[in-house]
Each structure stands twice: as structure tokens, then as C-alpha cells.
Amino acid sequence: MSQPSVASNNGFSRRRFMAGTVSAAAAPLLASTAQAEAPVIPQTKLRQPVVTSLRINEQPYELSLDTRTSLLDALRDHAGLTGTKKGCDHGQCGACTVLVDGKRVLSCLSFAVMNEGKDITTVEGLASSDGKLHPMQQAFIDHDAFQCGYCTPGQILSAIGCVNEGHAESENDIREYMSGNICRCAAYPNIVAAILQARDETKGA
């Protein structure tokens, strides 16, 4: 008497099924083997410092930086310009605001190497060479627009950007366009008053 056939109704044999299962199971192994053979760049090489040329407050700086260094850390830890403050380091508080080519930038969210060839202004670069404060700095003093002062450099740089953008036409505008700069001491009414004064002085209104 002949043996019963092992072929299923659709003609797919048990032997073929097992062969397919085994090859599918082996696929990730083969893939990981292929990956393992790809050239591996040592971590240490990726972290080699590169010379980064920055122009800060009209002065040239040549800094040796890990390419992942934020502009904020480059300013504070490498250029020695600690006026720019680190609050959240996540783009949420505005304490690190600087001007890049005249525009407001959160320096904690920008890699230093992205800013080569651009003009960076920090709070240290606002006063004129004879020591006269920028009108926005003077207005913050005149209106007592700070308490602890930690947010103040970022507030001042952001306020200058806000006026330059034409977003300081009203108190509501100022509150809206300065809303990215948090003040834990809640000096907001004084900050708005300071910006209005500096706006009028710098625009001759």
C-alpha cells in the first residue's frame, strides 16, 4: 500500500514550508552580519574638535569645538562671554537669546558651526566703545525692568530684535512678540515700559 502524500490541498509541501520558515528566520541574522561588515567610524573621530571661526561683537574668534557644540556653550564655555545665560537649554525660556545678523536666535538651539561667517551680537557687544549703554540697556535700568537679572541679557537682545522687526507698535504687540522670553521674577510691566522708551528713542518717535 502506498504512503499518503504530505502535499497539502494547495500543493504546498511540508518540506517547502519548513525551508521558507528557516530562511525567514535567518534573514535578520544575515542583515545584521551585513551591517557588521559596513565600515565603522570610530566614535573618537566624530568627536575630534574642528576649528570654528566666529565673529562675535565685531571680534574674530577661532574656537576648537566639537561639531555638536551649541552656540550658547561656544559663547559661554569657549569664548568666555558669560553674559548670555543658560536657562532651560531646550528653547523654552529665551534666556540665551542673541542676535545673528540682526535677528533673534535662541543660541541653545543653534550649533556653533552653523554660525560661521555671520555677525553674532551678545549683551557684551551692545555698549559703545566709550562705555555708553545701548538705549535698550539704559531703558531697562530707567524702568527697573529686572529683579534677579538672570533673564535680562536675553530680554534685552530679544527686545532689540522685537523693535527692529517692527513688532513693538503697541503694548499688546510687545507682550506677544516678547512672549518667548520668560521672567521668573515677573518684571513684565517694567520690561514693556522699557521697550516702549527704547523704541521711541531709537526710532526718534
Give yes or no for residue 30 binding ligand FES (CB under 6 A). Answer: no
Set of cell numbers at residue 147: 529683579
Q: What is the DSSP letter of 39?
A: -
Contacts with ligand FES by CB under 6 A: the residue count is 23
Q: Is residue 86 part of the contact set for ligand FES (CB under 6 A)?
A: yes
Minimum gap (Å) between residue 89 Cβ and ligand FES: 5
CB 106 to ligand FES: min, Å: 5
Considering only 66, 89, 119, 173, the residue that binds ligand FES (CB under 6 A) is 89
Within 146-175, the residues that bind ligand FES by CB under 6 A are 146-152
- Check if the beta carbon of residue 86 is closer than 8 Å to that of residue 95: yes
Residue 187 in 3-state DSSP? coil
With CB under 6 A as the contact rule, the residue among 54, 157, 183, 193 that binds ligand FES is 183
Please enumerate in sequence order all residues whose Cβ is within 8 A of that of 168, keeping only pairs 6 or more positions apart, or say none.
159, 162, 174, 177, 195, 196, 199
Q: Cell numbers at residue 52, please?
A: 570654528
Interface with ligand FES, residue 106, by CB under 6 A: yes
Q: Residue 27: CB partners within 8 Å, gap ≥ 6?
A: none
The smaller minimum CB distance to ligand FES, of residues 96 and 196, is found at 96
Min dist. Cβ of residue 23 to ligand FES (A): 52
